[in-house]
Amino acid sequence: MNSSTSEHVKHRALLIIFYRNPELGKVKTRLAATVGNEKALVIYLQLASHTKSITEHVDVDKVVYYADFVDKEDSWLNVVFDKQLQRGADLGERMLNAFADGFSNGYQSICIIGTDCFELTTEIVTKAFMKLERQDAVIGPAQDGGYYLLGMNNLLAGVFKNKQWGTGSVCAATMSDFKKLGQNFFQLELLTDIDEEKDLPAAIKKSFQLL
């Protein structure tokens, strides 16, 4: 939480949410390539709103890690979500640093998600933490070969290294790392991250006249 001392930890578990500051032309660039920057930004804000709504009642501590700057005045309520700034040269290093922060602050189980998945639910996030009560790690595979959720009970730095981020090899390579490290892990259901127009649910496509 806001203090770096573990005595302020309310729960043993922490949910990290990686969030890109919503700026026109800087979010959902692959989606924007076909629907335009304006629609891509609106869809991104819908994704972020969905993520906020499904996580705010998960009974763990929560922290939003901003990509560019911490916004204390946005819709992520400060009383619900702690707020921090991402640090690192690439996605792997930024996630590693966020997990390291959490474990150094006294958390025993940590999961991370982004804001890319309309199919993610409160129940799935809650299940991930429940699985960590008996498993060493948990992963939520995405249709594109990445993952929408990653969780662990110890800092496994190796899973954040030597990955081709943004490619279809990431989830399989991460599960391979778990096995090499002797970690028991649970695989959640397969969901779709929204990266391109083809990933959009029909209802969203219809609302933006993309069908």
Write out the DSSP string of 116-150: --TT--HHHHHHHHHHTTTSSEEEEEBTTSSEEEE
Helix (H, G, I), strand (E, B) or coil at 169: coil
pLDDT of residue 3: 40
Percentage of the chain lying above the pLDDT 70 cut: 92
Share of the chain above pLDDT 90, in %: 83
Report domain extents, the chain: 11-206
- The CATH superfamily of 11-206 is Spore Coat Polysaccharide Biosynthesis Protein SpsA; Chain A (3.90.550.10)
Tokens of 30: 């692959």
Do 146 and 195 form a contact (C-beta atoms < 8 A)? no
Rounded Cα distance between 82 and 184, Å, is 30
Give me the pLDDT at residue 6, please.
43
Q: The pTM is what?
A: 0.91
What is the distance in angstroms between the CA of the first residue and the CA of the last residue of the chain? 44
